[in-house]
Structure 1
Amino acid sequence: MSQPFESLNVLGQPLAPCSTQPLTGFYRDGCCNTGHEDVGIHTVCARLDEAFLSFTREQGNDLTAPNPGMGFPGLQPGDRWCRCAGRWMEAYRAGVAPMVDLHAKHAETLAVIDLDTLKAYAL
């Protein structure tokens, strides 16, 4: 795996951790770091809620289902998780986008979602 991009958040500051319980991130380092091999751009640190989890399940991505083979515990409302920027935008357009942590959201997110939209969903 190659080196991740510089760890800055959408505010231009050092990237804060998103979650270690459960351990999140494309690199499973607790942060929403990204790099060239992260084609999904897993940069959005979101606090998940039931509406968002139901929406993703309806879209064919059941985040509540554990996958022990991948070391994935399954997620619950209240968990913080690094989500794909594009999937967050889909939820935003559907009116079910979860709240986000601007300090833990990687700057690469801005290639997909504008800062004003993110600020409207800031924790």
Structure 2
Amino acid sequence: MDPLTGFTRDGCCQDHPLDTGKHTVCVEVTAEFLAFSRSRGNDLSTPRPEWGFGGLKPGDRWCLCAARWIEALTAGNAPKVIMAATHESILEHVSLETLVSFSLDYSRH
């Protein structure tokens, strides 16, 4: 909720039918990921008050586009995932084992 995230800005990483970006992966952003995202043309750290966006800083939790998380994963820059807040539709693209290996809130034990 702070920052207010999700496609509908309700704090939830839902699979909304109007969300073509599929903001379904809840992550805790890092400085490395923010730099990676900026290098790919999606600057998430610069405030954009005209859009009601204060910018992200390391440690913030954010609903990330599934494709961006997968791109970051492939490039070795994937941020950690909050499994309890990530929508299950990501499993259409990434294995549960992969998600668990990046999880902040799920233990295999």
Does the alignment reach a TM-score above 0.5?
Answer: yes
Q: Percent identity?
A: 52
Structure-1 separation of matches of 2:43 and 2:18: 23
Provide the C-alpha distance between the structure 1 equivalents of 2:4 and 2:17, rounded to a whole number of angstroms: 21
Structure having the higher helix fraction is 2
Secondary structure in structure 1 of the residue aligned to 2:78: coil
Q: Pick one of 36, 48, 51 that aligns with 2:17.
A: 36
Looking at both structures, which has the greater relative contact order when contacts are Cα pairs under 8 Å and sequence separation is at least 6?
1
TM-score by length of 1: 0.82
Matched, 1:95 2:76: yes
In 1: Cα distance, 2:33 partner to 2:43 partner? 11
Tell me, in whole angstroms, the C-alpha distance in 2 between the residues paired with 1:82 and 1:110. Answer: 15
- State how many pairs are aligned: 104
Q: Which runs of 5+ in 2 are unaligned?
A: 105-109
SS at match of 2:73: helix
- How far 1:76 moved relative to its partner? 0.3
Unaligned runs of 5+ in 1: 1-19
Q: Cα offset for 1:101?
A: 0.6
Cα deviation 1:15-67 (Å, max 9, x = unaligned): xxxxx010000011111012111111100000000110000011111100111
The 2-side partners of 1:38 and 1:84 are apart by: 9
Question: Is the contact made by 1:45 and 1:105 (CA closer than 8 Å) also made in structure 2?
Answer: yes
Q: Give the letter for the 1:44 counterpart.
A: V
